Amino acid sequence: MTPDATPTAPTPRASAATVSVSVDSAPEPPASAVSGAVDSVPEARSSAVSASTFPAPESPAPTASASTDSAPNAPAPVVPALYPCTITHVRTAPRRYALRHRTYLWLVDPDRPPRLPRPLRVLARFDARDHFTGEAPSIRAGLDAFLAGHGIRLDGGRVLMLTQARVFGYVFNPLTLYWCHGPDGRLRCVVAEVHNTYGGRHSYLLLPDAAGTARADKRFYVSPFFPVDGGYRMRVPPPDHRLDLTVHLDREGGRALTATVRGTRRAASGAALLRLALRHPFSPLLASAAIRFHGIRLYLRGLPVQPRPDDHRTPENVT
């Protein structure tokens, strides 16, 4: 899911094969499998695909540190977890266009990179190069550097990450969400990391209210059918038994697009991962192809194409 665009179409500067996607666009076929299990699976057992739940990491004990929040949140969910889900996108301007697809996502703790059983490792890999600047030694280090640029420290607090993983070596991450907690377990902020199909990345710092809603000005080119203007209204409550996300793109004149993600938590077991991978094979690659397919359809229907800014390929921007 991408916060601000439906699938993208070719621009005057790019062929149909390089059509971009926005943070609220979703491909018609399944999107990729997102992040993986957090705890290591001992090598001695890695040769067998087990139906048992992947071990969850131990959470660090809370310390007496102050948090920016006034009240503690509900207990954090156990990770890793799988969320089979349905993604919908409804574009309302300048022409109505709707799409829907089913996929699955992972919820993981990026502090403890997963080690799946050997036969499953091609189905979910999580690399630091796929997030933020791509130069940090770990995903958590990249996140901490981003937060430090905004004057925020988690002091070792826990992070929950909802994202797509590399599948058979390929990855495409339209949107990754990070729920960032202080050492006392209170939510301090949410980071929304957006990728477009041109190779660009941009991260938004969100400070949700008690209902899990936050606003951010749009700063990043995602879809060729929307200029870089307007703002997002995101509802991003931490996942529990249910995954329930909503992103609105509001522009002058009204709401331009709404994207939702609805899913139900499943235990992250080898059998569950295999079932989902068989149901949605090569999902990151198919998702990327589907975005371009829908972009071409919109282009052929006469939607005006917006020029890309010169910095649309910037590896990482921050707001």
**What are the pLDDT digits (tens) for 225-254?**
888 989 999 999 999 999 999 999 999 888
| C-beta of residue 28 within 8 angstroms of C-beta of residue 289 | no
Q: Lowest mean pLDDT: which of 109-113, 175-179, 213-217, 237-241?
A: 109-113
Is the separation of the CB atoms in 47 and 115 below 8 Å? Answer: no
Nearest CA to 62 among 49, 50, 75? 75
Mind listing the pLDDT tens digit for each residue in 267-319? 998 899 999 999 988 888 888 888 888 888 888 888 888 888 765 555 544 44
Cα distances (angstroms) measured from residue 252 to each of 85, 229, 230, 255: 31, 9, 7, 8
**Average pLDDT over all residues of the chain:** 79
Tokens 């059509």 identify what position?
Answer: 19
The amino acid occupying position 156 is G
Contacts of 92 (CB under 8 A, 6+ apart): 254, 255, 256, 257, 258
Most confident of 37-41, 99-103, 198-202, 233-237: 233-237
Write the pLDDT tens digit of every residue in 156-195: 999 999 998 899 999 988 999 999 999 999 999 999 999 9
Q: Are 272 and 82 in contact (CB under 8 A)?
A: yes
pLDDT of 289 reads: 83
Q: What is the pTM of this model?
A: 0.78
- Quote the CA–CA distance of 8 and 18 in Å, as a whole number: 9
Contact status, residue 234 vs residue 3, Cβ threshold 8 Å = yes
Residue 4 pLDDT class (50, 70, 90 cuts): low
Average of pLDDT values for 122-129?
Answer: 93
Tens-digit pLDDT profile for residues 33-65: 333 333 333 333 333 444 556 655 444 433 333
Task: Write down the pLDDT at residue 112.
Answer: 86
Check residue 70 and give its pLDDT: 37
Neighbours of 144 (CB within 10 A): 19
Bridge partner residues of 302 (DSSP): none
Q: What's the pLDDT at 76? A: 65
Written as one letter, the residue type at 151 is G
Closest CA to 103 of 89, 120, 90, 118: 89
- Burial (CB < 10 A; 0-12, 13-18, 19+), residue 166, is buried
What backbone phi and psi angles, to 5 degrees, belong to 276? Answer: -70, -40
Highest mean pLDDT among 24-38, 47-61, 83-97, 126-140: 126-140
Q: Which two tokens stand for residue 219?
A: 């700063």
